[in-house]
Chains A and B, each alone.
Chain A
């Protein structure tokens, strides 16, 4: 056997590198895939801790290993609390270092528009192949010129309610209007089963409740010109007055300090009878059937139904939480990151993750509404269509950077929280108007 000297090895490897670099196809064929990425390329993906843990498990055990095999680079998934995502985005942008792909909620991509890679090509490709994106997904991720982020999914929000407790107070179906809901809620609270709603600083439930509540009374942040602050209106004031009484009559007082997981715990422990939420409560009762039971001993999932928010004087409104993936402008792996997202949103690959979600996450494009998963469980079926009619924040203007700033400051949520704490409606709306003017006048 001939001995390979150090000098000989260097010479050989140098020749190999030159051959590969100048079209040494033999080496490429031998390796089985094109050397598109530098050796050791790793895409760092930062997202929330999914409220459906099985979905993160699916990513780690099934989807990412398959993606790594197909794409030829490593994907490092990091999951954190949803309320910590914005801090990581800011830190990453300012230090020009951090995760290559970061999850954003709602219209937050507009806050970071100047620091995000252009993902228009990928979005146009996915959108046109999958029936088009929902308007809400596009509004949250497109600034009128380009796509800022790739829509990931829509976390549908509906009211989860206990049908046996509602029946006990004479409600055999879910109330259609806020007035009816208040009457039922008052009876439920009197029986020790209040309604539950978070009015804290959390990116999911409080926002998904307060904005459509205001819209359903005819209130809005700004006029369609996107400049004139219009929150101080009869509609908004009526909604605040209603909310103050509604809260006292029907709600659990603890909601002022709740985050997005508190209402799940309160519902599952049998403290509250209804709450606006994603499907995670129901999914949890399906997962742990023996643990969650009704007073009568039945499995709790058999006592849960889902309903949209009731209608107000201006009709029914809905806001749904949008999740998207931002490819960061500072990333040196933008191509790899985009290729991974393209791989993920290919129907065959997205489907695995989508079905594990069992309807907690709706697809961002319309084609997913026709998936057979929606026929499996009638309790989950109402989530199928929630993205279709959802509005985005900043209504009646655009969900732009200013609307995102207002959202991040929780101005609309705090307006209701202040009223619930006893501030007169006129004063609460005047406070919100002042805050919005500071944002929209710049």
Chain B
């Protein structure tokens, strides 16, 4: 009886020892720590991504499981004039808004980095466009651009700047311009606050030393501020490019892709085809068409960031 108990105790201790040993092994421990993130990534990133690839290679419609059709959807989409407009719009939209958000954001960050009364309040208010839900703020802009009741037209008319009502959302070029303006307005605070955080990490002593050596404001910015701010700027730009490229809410609410499909982006067109019309496979093909372009842009930026950091 006694010997049986001893054997059981030894076996239990052995298992406990081997469990403890497993956790002491850094590889197992790291694996356990990474596991929840891995599961989340697999469920919410990898699965939809591969599901999207599969959908784009089938002829699935809403409620009708499809069969494999190879690259037929991509061929169809490539010959679609609205898709080509959406590609051009997305690239141009991302480029213009990113340039403006970067320049204006940098300028705003420099201003906010100074000492003045009510600094904390101003910084908080600057963030408002970014904090307010996009759908809500875009609805407010929609009213401001309303073809009939535009407050902007009223203002410009009373200031004597226009003699004829501007059709902000009904004229293709003006509609695209309006969409760009709202995106810049919304994205500017993200740049300003992120770059402000970057500016605050730069030691004032460097600026002072340069000033003593006779460097003017532009020289100080060009040779001290900008090189030190570059890594932060690149990361902010990277995030912004990804977000802008895949933008949906703003265009959907403001123009719905109109007039006559003139302001469609990848996401809004994919939504119209996939969700609105129920052609899920074509919608997936349109969505996936973003991937190679975005992947290329992100890769270039990441390589550049790495280069800057290892300089």
> How distant is the Cα of A262 from the Cα of B256 in the complex, in angstroms?
14
Query: Of the candidates A94, A254, A266, A414, which one forms a contact with B170 in the assembled complex, judged by CB atoms under 8 Å apart?
Result: A254
**Chain B residue nearest in CB terms to A407:** B277
Indicate whether A417 reaches chain B with its CB closer than 8 angstroms.
Answer: yes
Question: Complex: how many Å from CA A434 to CA B79?
Answer: 10
B170 to chain A, nearest CB (A): 3
Q: Are A252 and B147 in contact (CB under 8 A)?
A: yes
B277 touches A258 (CB 8 A): no
B261 at the interface (CB under 8 A from A): yes
CB atoms of B261 and A414 under 8 A apart? yes
B175 smallest CB distance to A (angstroms): 7
Chain A residues within an 8 Å CB radius of B260: 199, 256, 414, 417-418, 421
Q: Mark B52-66, 1 if CB is under 8 A from A, else 0.
A: 000000000011100
Using CB atoms, name the residue of chain B closest to A258: B147
Main secondary structure of the interface of B (DSSP, over half): loop
Chain B residues, Cβ within 8 Å of A265 = 148-149
Q: Which of A90, A201, A414 contacts B62 (CB 8 A)?
A: A90
Any B CB within 8 A of the CB of A179: no
Asked whether A112 is an interface residue with its Cβ less than 8 Å from the other chain, the reply is yes
When distances are taken between beta carbons in the complex, the residues of chain B under 8 Å from A255 are 147, 170
Tally of contact residues, B, Cβ under 8 A: 37
Whether, in the assembled complex, B169 has its beta carbon less than 8 Å from a beta carbon of chain A, the answer is yes
Looking at the complex, which one of B256, B259, B276 makes contact with A86 (CB distance below 8 Å)?
A: B276
A253 at interface (Cβ–Cβ under 8 A)?
A: yes
Tell me the smallest distance from the CB of A424 to a CB of chain B, in Å: 14
Residues of chain B in range 219-261 having any CB-CB distance to chain A below 8 Å: 255-261
User: 0/1 per residue, B62-93, Cβ < 8 Å to A?
Assistant: 11100000000000100011000000000000
State which residues 74-105 of A face B: CB under 8 Å: 83, 86-87, 89-91, 93-94
Residues of B with C-beta under 8 A to A83: 256
Task: Output the nearest chain B residue to A196 by Cβ-Cβ distance.
Answer: B148
Q: Are B167 and A417 in contact (CB under 8 A)?
A: no
Residue from B147, B261, B271 in contact with A254 in the complex, judged by beta carbons closer than 8 Å? B147
Q: Please, which residues of chain A bring their CB within 8 A of the CB of B259? A: 199-200, 256-257, 417, 421
Q: Which residues of A contact B208 (CB under 8 A)?
A: none
Asked if residues B62 and A93 are in contact (CB atoms below 8 Å), the reply is: yes
Q: Is A329 an interface residue (CB 8 A)?
A: yes
CA–CA, A259 to B148, complex, Å? 12
A287 contacts the other chain (Cβ, under 8 Å)?
A: no
CA distance A11 to B29 in the complex (A): 53
B167 touching A114 by the CB < 8 A rule? no
Find out whether the CB atom of A269 lies under 8 angstroms from the CB atom of B275. Answer: no
Q: Which residues of B contact A258 (CB under 8 A)?
A: 147, 170
Within 8 Å of chain B (Cβ to Cβ): is A343? no
- Measured in the bound complex, the distance between the Cα atoms of B76 and A438 in whole Å is 8
Nearest neighbor of A108 in chain B, beta-carbon distance: B278
Give the interface size bracket for A toward B: 35 or more
Q: Does A405 contact B (CB under 8 A)?
A: yes
Residues of chain A lying within 8 A (CB to CB) of residue B198: none
- Distance (Å) between the CB of A284 and the closest chain B CB? 16
Contact check, B148 vs A271: say whether CB atoms are below 8 A apart: yes
Q: Is A191 an interface residue (CB 8 A)?
A: no
Partner of A405, one of B76, B145, B271, B277: B277
Residues in A neighbouring B165, C-beta threshold 8 A:
253-254
Tell which of B148, B168, B172, B278 touches A269, judged by Cβ atoms closer than 8 Å: B148
- CB-CB < 8 A to B168: which residues of A? 257
Please tell me if the beta carbons of A253 and B147 are within 8 angstroms of each other in the complex.
yes
In the complex, A262→B272 CA distance in Å?
A: 21
Write out, one digit per residue, whether chain A residues 237-253 have a CB within 8 A of any chain B CB (1) or not (0). Answer: 00000000000000011
Q: Which of A258-295 contact B (CB under 8 A)?
A: 258-259, 262, 265-266, 269, 271
Contacts A409-B272, A431-B81; is A257 near B279 (CB within 8 Å)?
no
The reply to whether B258 and A256 form a contact with Cβ atoms under 8 Å apart is yes
Contact between A266 and B148, CB atoms less than 8 A apart: yes
Closest to A111 in B: B278
- Answer yes or no: A115 CB below 8 A from chain B CBs: yes
Q: Which residues of A contact B261 (CB under 8 A)?
A: 414
Name B76's closest neighbour in chain A (CB-CB): A438
Whole-angstrom CA separation of A94 from B278 in the bound complex: 10
CB pair B279–A114 under 8 Å, yes or no, is no
Chain A residue numbers with a CB within 8 Å of B188 are: none
Q: How far is the CA of A90 from the CA of B117 in the complex (A)?
A: 53
Digit string of B169-190 for contact with A (CB within 8 Å is 1, else 0)? 1111001000000000000000
Tell me how far the C-beta of B69 lies from the nearest C-beta in chain A, rounded to whole angstroms.
11
B280 at interface by CB-CB < 8 Å = yes
Q: Are A269 and B62 in contact (CB under 8 A)?
A: no
Q: Is B62's CB under 8 angstroms from A112's CB?
A: yes
Q: Within 8 Å CB of B170, what residues of A?
A: 253-258
Q: Which of A392-442 contact B (CB under 8 A)?
A: 405, 408-409, 414, 417-418, 421, 431, 434, 438
> Nearest Cβ in chain A — how far from B119, in angstroms?
40
Contacts of A201 in B (CB 8 A): 256-258, 272
Beyond A87-B276, A111-B278, A258-B147, 10 additional pairs, beta carbon < 8 A? A90-B62, A90-B275, A90-B276, A90-B280, A112-B62, A201-B258, A254-B148, A254-B170, A405-B279, A414-B261
List of 4 A-B pairs having minimum Cβ-Cβ separation, nearest first:
A254-B147, A115-B63, A256-B170, A257-B169
